[in-house]
């Protein structure tokens, strides 16, 4: 089973996707493609090359509005401007058939790598996560820190991410 992450396209069968969370299912089915078309977010899906229409999991990312440095956890506020740029991991879901196979961790690391690579090209201090339905502990396990004002909003500075190897071209 050769799996890969690709940008969401019309060929992907989002209507059949079920991660067990109605709000995530509804968002993927009704909103993800619209947001992708107008540029407000980008959704990536995990597929199997044998059945490329079937969505095994997904995540959505966007540029984050500037965050006030005083809103960050105190240990992250040192030597930063008053407002910092970043990226948001807005949604992440794994189909119920694929849960328990570490696909959520794989998709999270994929999102982290994409944010890290973008920050290397255009800047960006951190990746923020808007955790839904009490899954903040999942992100904390990977090193994200809860924001003081909202424990379901978490942050990881790019400097704290795993080092993703550079790809040499040519």
Cite the active site residues: 139
- Give the pair of three-digit tokens for residue 113: 């790598």
Q: E strands along the chain, which residues?
A: 3-7, 42-48, 57-68, 83-94, 126-130, 145-147, 150-157
Q: Where are the alpha helices (DSSP H) in 39-158?
A: 103-122, 136-141
* Angle (nearest 5°) at CA 82 between 80 and 87: 75
Question: Residues with Cβ < 8 Å from 72, sequence gap 6 or more?
Answer: 80, 84, 147, 148, 155
Closest to 60 (Cα-Cα) out of 22, 11, 86, 24: 24
């Amino acid at each position: 089973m050769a799996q890969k992450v690709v940008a969401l396209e019309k060929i992907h069968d989002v209507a059949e996707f079920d991660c067990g969370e109605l709000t995530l299912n509804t968002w993927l089915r009704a909103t993800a493609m619209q947001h992708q078309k107008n540029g407000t977010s980008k959704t990536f899906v995990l597929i199997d090359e044998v059945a490329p229409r079937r969505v095994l999991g997904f995540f959505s990312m966007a540029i984050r509005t500037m965050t006030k440095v005083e809103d960050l956890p105190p240990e992250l506020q040192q030597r930063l401007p008053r407002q910092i740029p970043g990226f948001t991991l807005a949604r992440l879901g794994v189909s119920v058939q694929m849960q328990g196979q570490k696909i959520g961790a794989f998709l999270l690391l994929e999102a982290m790598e994409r944010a890290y690579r973008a920050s290397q090209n255009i800047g960006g201090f951190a990746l923020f996560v808007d955790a839904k339905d009490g899954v903040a502990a999942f992100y904390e396990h990977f090193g994200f820190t809860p924001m003081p004002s909202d424990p379901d909003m978490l942050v990881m500075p790019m400097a704290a991410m795993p080092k993703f190897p550079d790809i040499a071209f040519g």
